[in-house]
Structure formats: C-alpha cells, structure tokens
Amino acid sequence: MAKTQSVKRYNLVLPEVLFDELQSVATRRGVTVLEVIRQFVKLGLLVAKTEDTPEAVFVIRDGSGERELTFIW
C-alpha cells in the first residue's frame, strides 16, 4: 500500500534581499526557489536534531575534503 502524503499550503513573505539571494542560488543550481527553501529547511531540521544529542557533529564533505561543524546551543 502506498503511503499518502498530506500537503499544507502556506504563503511565505520574504524580504526582497533574502528572496534575491534564494533566487540566485536557485538559478545557479537550475532549480526553483521553493526547492532551495525545501533543501535549507531539511538541513535546518537536521541541525536542530543535534541539540538533542550534544555529542553529535555535522560533517560536510566536498570534493576536496571534509569540514566538521560544531554547534553551540
């Protein structure tokens, strides 16, 4: 049985300068502003989970290596 997904609709008002930055990122990636917002929200939720697990670290990997981020709450 397929899992059904609930969708809620919201209006989001952003300062123009923030929208312009999001639009720039979206254009570079070839996606929509909404997709950029989704990606950043997902990342933010993952980071927020580290608050519940103090020993957790975030590691960002790119082509040239890794960077470890430590969040101080």
Q: What is the pLDDT of residues 40-62, one digit of tens each?
A: 999 888 878 877 877 777 777 77
Q: What stretches of 2-59 show up as alpha helix (H) in DSSP? A: 16-29, 33-49
Model pTM greater than 0.85?
A: no
Q: What is the pLDDT of residue 72?
A: 62
Q: What is the pLDDT of residue 1?
A: 59
Kindly tell me if the per-residue pLDDT of 37 is higher than 90.
yes
Q: What is the pLDDT of residue 49?
A: 80
Phi, psi of 58 (to 5 degrees): -105, 125
